[in-house]
Amino acid sequence: MLDAVDWSRPWYESVRGAAGCLSAQAHFRDEFSKQAAALGLRNHLGLPISFVPQEDLPEGTAYEEHIGASGCVPTRDNFHDFFNGLVWLTFPRIKVQLNALQAAQIAQDGVGKSRGPARDAATIFDENAALLVARDNADGHALIDALRAHRWQEAFLARRAQWGTDAQVWLFGHALMEKLVAPRKAMTAHTRIVLASDAFFMLDHEGRRAWLDAKVAQQLVDEELTTSSFTPMQALGVPGWWPEQDQAFYADATVFRPKRVSAVK
């Protein structure tokens, strides 16, 4: 599994450190459990996080419910669950809060045919989110406004110099990571904006990771999570994430779509 991923791709920077701690000589599920124990990872009930075969998930029990009740993360032998484990090791606080939210919703409403708005938002976050950390100043807010308004040429070309120095993307969604093993232009992240002071951008990679994990986890405790919490952003549109990102690249309206105009009632 490790050898099948091109770790030089910029979108894997967020989990590259966790992947580098794994031994290729053992099954990644066992390596995840070993690393989780070393980091002292626990779920919202204080139970140790471990990674177990999918067959350990009791019949009729929801996946999120099982993690919340036992600390055991059912893990299949595929890219989807491989990246999920890497995200657990990279952003454990966020993962714990998302699981706590999902488990609480299941306890309240049951599994049902539909997830409900809160659980749906948590699932989208878990599967397909990117965290965009923007400097909390006028330029940072202008970049965010351009993204939210789908002014792609402004966000990605006119403000290109801000990316990397004043705006940084950390992939979180493990399904998105899985899809990006074979990248396509139209792949789009549900992006959560996180504002940060100058101090964040002075930290090293590990310091920024820890800050972001703690910051977003606390936001999930303090704020309601809804699908409106996200803004779409094309992963390969991030400056530096794909070659030949010229004006013609961003002019492709089948990918970089204009914002829908709400109907006036």
Is 84 contained in some domain? yes
Confirm whether 253 is domain-assigned: no
136/186 same-domain check: yes
Q: Where are the alpha helices (DSSP H) in the chain?
A: 13-20, 28-39, 63-70, 79-90, 92-109, 117-128, 138-148, 152, 174-179, 198-202, 205-222, 247-250
Residues 238 and 18: their CA atoms lie apart, in Å, by: 23
Count the domains in the chain. Answer: 2
Contact between 52 and 76 (Cβ < 8 Å):
no
Same domain, 137 and 238: yes
Residue position matching structure tokens 């040429």: 153
Q: Are residues 78 and 145 in the same domain?
A: no
Asked whether residue 254 is assigned to any structural domain, the reply reads no
Of 110, 139, 173, the one marking the end of a domain is: 110
Same domain, 36 and 145: no
Q: How far, rounded to the nearest angstrom, does the alpha carbon of residue 89 sit from its chain's CA centroid?
A: 13
- Residue 248 placed within a domain: no
Can you tell me the distance from the alpha carbon of 90 to that of 59, in angstroms, rounded to the nearest whole number? 29
**In this structure, what token pair is assigned to residue 155?**
């966000």
Question: How far is it, in rounded angstroms, from Cα 155 to Cα 259?
Answer: 14
Along the 265 residues of the chain, how does pLDDT read in single tens digits? 788 999 999 999 999 999 999 988 899 999 999 999 999 999 999 999 999 999 999 999 999 999 999 999 999 999 999 999 999 999 999 999 999 999 998 888 776 655 678 889 999 999 999 999 999 999 999 999 999 999 999 999 999 999 999 999 999 999 999 999 999 999 999 999 999 999 999 999 999 999 999 999 999 999 999 999 899 999 999 999 999 999 999 999 999 999 987 644 4
pTM to 2 decimals?
A: 0.95
Domain boundary among 87, 110, 133: 110
Q: Are 140 and 100 members of one domain?
A: no
Residue 146 lies in a domain: yes
Q: Domain residues for 57?
A: 10-110
